[in-house]
Structure 1
Amino acid sequence: MCGRFALTEKPQGVETFLGLAGLDDFPPRFNIAPTQPILMAIGGAPRAQGSNLPDRRAALVRWGFVPGWAKDPKDFPLLINARAESAAEKATFRAAMRHRRTLVPASGFYEWRRDGRKRAQPFWVRPRKGGLVAFAGLMETWTEPGGSEIDTGAILTTEANSDLSSIHPRMPVVIRPEHFSRWLDCVRYEPRDMADLLSPVEPGFFEAIPVSDKVNSVANLGPDLQERVEVDAMAEEAPKASTAQLSLF
């Protein structure tokens, strides 16, 4: 599962990584939570002749997928993740899996290990070599009765690899740069052509760092969220979780 992540790279670095152009400036985000806006790259219109950039564009979407046929998103479950193994068959995600596959740039994500204590130990999971990673995403546009539209999205997850399975049984699907074009090409490639991309990333790609439970609260937004802590010390601290969320609705 992926319930919190971070994007701290500068816009220029994100542009280069995803093959985008013209991103608006944005600050580093150390604690991105459900219902907040997230950046996605999607297949776009062809570039001008002579451009060496791929056919992609950026979109800012609400993290919390709402299928187009939903009558009221407030009555619909908050779907921040979709299981890669079944997304192509599920009515909720089938159309997006076929027509609106996306990439979600991230510096890493947070995961919680539950070991029987009343509180869970959070970990900051980042690429071992640093830099950015792209999660497989899905996007859908929901239209309210009044005609206003809102883009929504989810992150695909798969079984955790051997490095992370002791923390949580699920992890985000990682799309490697060499597969960006195929993943985003919803014209030539159908969901069945994506099966080889939906496996867990190889062991050694990520490293998991124990961090404080300050990440539990969306009010905490600083880089200190990613600082390593001693797990034994954390076990003695009281949880300070918050359910407050920012929302696009």
Structure 2
Amino acid sequence: MCGRFALTLPTDAMAALFGAIPANDLPIVPNFNICPTNNVHVVWTGENRRLSAMRWGFLPFWYKTPTDGPLLINARAETIAEKPAFRAACRERRCLIPTTGFYEWSKGSGGERLPWYIQRADKAPLVMAGIWQDWGEDKLPTCAIVTCAANQAIAEIHHRMPVVLEQADWAKWLGEGGHGAAPLMRPAGEDVLRFHRVDPKVNSNRASGPELVEPV
């Protein structure tokens, strides 16, 4: 799964990287501790590519309030095309969620939660596959991260991981490059990511600062 991540790339750099028009209400960066229900940066395609803010926590159209059901921050690749909450978005509203890296937790010998920071080995922005949907009368934009089974390296920490998209696949995932996005929902190659242990203070959603991603 993916339940927390960081983003340090400046807005103008993101807009240039994705060839997207930035909105005026984007979240402040850098942010080293992005949590569920926060607004996050999302790249999607309308008439043009857009870089917008969306609530991390997908809201199905039948939710009467944001807390009407489970908090849907992730969508499983294996069932996304079948689940009523996600299947329309999977066909019609796919997006890119840029990050610098994401956090995952393993269990220590005493059952304690041990945090790890995972980033690209080449230090390029790590782009996750997502889906989005407007919700309610006010059309609140919401999104979820698509996850898949972990590759062998990440499985040492957790059995799930976000779908990591290479730049050559961005257009196809966004629906700009024709059909056939399903094969992109696979684990990253074994040499794509690297990870290191970080301080347990990131276990708190109130923690902040660049020290959260420093190795310990």
- Same fold by TM (over 0.5)? yes
Number of the residue aligned with 2:142: 152
Number of the residue aligned with 1:80: 73
Number of the residue aligned with 2:93: 100
In the alignment, the residues of structure 2 paired with residue 16 and residue 130 of structure 1 have an alpha-carbon distance, to the nearest angstrom, of: 17
Number of the residue aligned with 1:213: 200
**Residue identity opposite 1:156 in structure 2:** V
Number of the residue aligned with 1:203: 190
Number of the residue aligned with 1:67: 60
Is 1:11–1:23's contact at 8 Å kept on the other side of the alignment? no
Alignment of 1:161-172 (within 5 A): 161-172=151-162
In the alignment, the residues of structure 1 paired with residue 6 and residue 141 of structure 2 have an alpha-carbon distance, to the nearest angstrom, of: 20
**Residue aligned with 1:75, SS:** coil
- Per-residue CA deviations over 1:153-183 (Å, capped at 9, x if unaligned) read 1000001111110100000001111111111
Number of the residue aligned with 2:45: 43
Is 2:23–2:50's contact at 8 Å kept on the other side of the alignment? no
Matched, 1:183 2:185: no
TM-score by length of structure 1 reads: 0.82
Shift in Å, 1:14: 1.2
Spell out structure 1 runs of 4+ moving beyond 6 A.
Answer: none
In the alignment, the residues of structure 2 paired with residue 223 and residue 76 of structure 1 have an alpha-carbon distance, to the nearest angstrom, of: 34
Is 1:9–1:28's contact at 8 Å kept on the other side of the alignment? yes
In the alignment, the residues of structure 1 paired with residue 54 and residue 168 of structure 2 have an alpha-carbon distance, to the nearest angstrom, of: 24
Aligned residues: percent identity?
A: 40
TM-score by length of structure 2 reads: 0.94
In the alignment, the residues of structure 2 paired with residue 92 and residue 221 of structure 1 have an alpha-carbon distance, to the nearest angstrom, of: 32
**Residue aligned with 1:74, SS:** coil
Number of the residue aligned with 2:16: 16
Matched, 1:224 2:211: yes
Is 1:17–1:132's contact at 8 Å kept on the other side of the alignment? no
Shift in Å, 1:205: 0.8
Is 2:171–2:177's contact at 8 Å kept on the other side of the alignment? no
Is 1:15–1:23's contact at 8 Å kept on the other side of the alignment? no
Q: Radius of gyration: which is bigger?
A: 1
Indicate how the Cα distance of structure 1 residues 112 and 84 shifts in structure 2: closer, same or farther if over 3 A, else same.
same
**Residue aligned with 1:73, SS:** coil
- In terms of fraction of residues, the more strand-rich structure is 2
Where does the alignment leave 5 or more consecutive residues of structure 2 unmatched? none
Where does the alignment leave 5 or more consecutive residues of structure 1 unmatched? 46-54, 230-249
**Residue aligned with 2:196, SS:** strand
**Residue identity opposite 1:227 in structure 2:** E
**Residue identity opposite 2:206 in structure 1:** A
In the alignment, the residues of structure 1 paired with residue 95 and residue 199 of structure 2 have an alpha-carbon distance, to the nearest angstrom, of: 31
